[in-house]
Amino acid sequence: MNMTAAGAQPAAEADLDIRNARALLPGDGLQETHLRIAGGRIAECAASGRGAGTTLDAGGLLALPGIVDLHGDAFEHLLMPRSGVRFPVGVALAEVDRQLLANGITTAYHGITYSWEPGLRGRDTVVAVLDALETIGGRLGCDTRVHLRHELHNVDAEAEIRDWIRAGRIGLLALNDHLDMIQARLDRTEKLSQYTERSGLGPEDYRALVERVAARTGEVPATTASLCREAVAARLPVASHDDETPAMRADYRGLGAALCEFPCNPETAREAVSAGEAVILGAPNVLRGGSHDARLHATEAISDGLCTALASDYYYPAALHAAFQLSRYEVLPFPAAWDLVSGGPARAAGLDDRGAIAPGRRADVLLVDPDSPLGPQVVATVAGGELVHVHDTAGRLRAFSAS
């Protein structure tokens, strides 16, 4: 079998046929299907067919569109697994790539926070990740992009971020403002410790930094508007993060932020949906049965039609398992549940070449065992037409070359 391991340089594109799969097809649900892949695209979806190249017998596994993850920041744990302990960015990103593919994520937007803080969320880390992705991105199995989480009080970064947008280094711009929350938590020892550990500053130095940053609040509106104008001109998706009220959502909409990421309550989510905007919630919220911050309950929001996309957030396995959980508990039919982690995110990001198994689309296909004792498991991942991950402990797959 011509298999490419996750993180290795993809081989030359070759035909791949997948037969005996139950494929999730647009409008048809799960159908026994023969998929033919050529040139990195899905060439044909048919009830039967004869293999033209390497043929993979899926043995009745589900064939699902690859997951499109608009916001995942679990990679931070690979960059700094312990307080103050850093590892080379290339090593970390290669390991993240393996985790993404094993969990069915074929398009990933790394949520890189560019804060006014130094350390893990400071400029040096952001630049290191950007540079590493440009160096090794072609060797990653997952289509990996940058979701730049711009902290609005990081006003000195305006010119640099504008240059990155113009150079095409950013795939999505998100507007984040965590200063008020941080200020409110400075008297909580465990939270202050979290901030000092990731920044590398002592408690008093961190408090002093927060005061200096807060003193420049008056500069935030102009900087935010400038960056949004730049992003809109570049046709870059713009999201606002943690919107607290419908009025806040409307204000961000006026700046060109058409994605509502992690709204805090149903009223704000409803404001976005009524305007035809994407509402992105966290898949861990679904999987755990609620928000870890006691905010909007994702499953209830989905049931009420207030969510169009789920993101892995801080836990890569969550997207896969959340979609199956929504179906199992009859919150949504399975095609609609899966759309929240594939088609919905693709539409939100303006990626019209993926998110569905259909002729002409990018060949991002997962072969999934829904009945594993461990829960739904990704047995194989095809990304951009290449077989980049296989974990077939049950021996479901058979591969051979067509004669």
282, part of any domain: yes
Q: Are residues 150 and 238 in the same domain?
A: yes
Q: At what angle do helices 246-255 and 220-233 cross, to 10 degrees?
A: 60
User: How many domains is the chain partitioned into structurally?
Assistant: 2
Span 31-57, pLDDT tens digits: 999 999 999 999 999 877 665 678 999
Strands 54-57 and 62-65: unpaired
Please check whether residue 9 lies inside any domain of the structure.
Answer: no
pLDDT band at 14 (very low <50, low <70, confident <90, very high): low
State whether 29 and 86 are in the same domain. Answer: no
- What single DSSP character describes residue 137? G
Tell me the per-residue pLDDT of 227-266, one tens digit each, with 9 for 90 and over. Answer: 999 999 999 999 999 999 999 999 999 999 999 999 999 9
Residue 8 in domain: no
Q: How far apart are CA 252 and CA 277, in angstroms?
A: 12
pLDDT at residue number 369: 97
If asked whether residues 222 and 362 sit together in one domain, one would say no
Half-sphere exposure in the Cβ direction for 223 (13 Å, CA): 20
Q: Are residues 87 and 146 in the same domain?
A: yes
Query: 2 in a domain, yes or no?
Result: no
If pLDDT is split at 50, 70 and 90, which confidence band does 12 have? Answer: very low
CATH number of 43's domain: 2.30.40.10
- In this prediction, residues 72-99 reach a mean pLDDT of 94
Handedness of CA 83, 85, 90, 94 (dihedral sign): negative
Buried b (16+ CB within 10 A) or exposed e, 244-260: eebebbeebbebbbbbb
Helices (H), 60-199: 76-79, 89-102, 123-136, 158-166, 179-185, 189-199
Residue 375 is predicted with a pLDDT of 95
Domain region containing 330: 67-349
Domain of 250, CATH number, reads 3.20.20.140
Give the tens place of pLDDT for each residue, 164-187: 999 999 999 999 999 999 999 999
Examine residue 78 and state whether it is found in any structural domain, yes or no: yes
How far apart CA 46 and CA 261 sit, in angstroms, is: 37
Q: Could you tell me if 338 and 295 lie in one domain?
A: yes
Same structural domain, 50 and 107:
no
Q: What is the mean pLDDT of residues 81-90?
A: 91
Question: How much is the average pLDDT of 10-24?
Answer: 77
Residue 396, CA distances (Å) to 3, 98, 197, 368, 379 in order? 16, 21, 45, 10, 8
The answer on 197 and 132 residing in a single domain is: yes
Residues 82 and 181 in one domain: yes
Model pLDDT for residues 352-361, shown as the tens digit of each residue: 999 999 999 9
The more confidently predicted of residues 394 and 2 is: 394
* 34 and 134 inside one domain: no
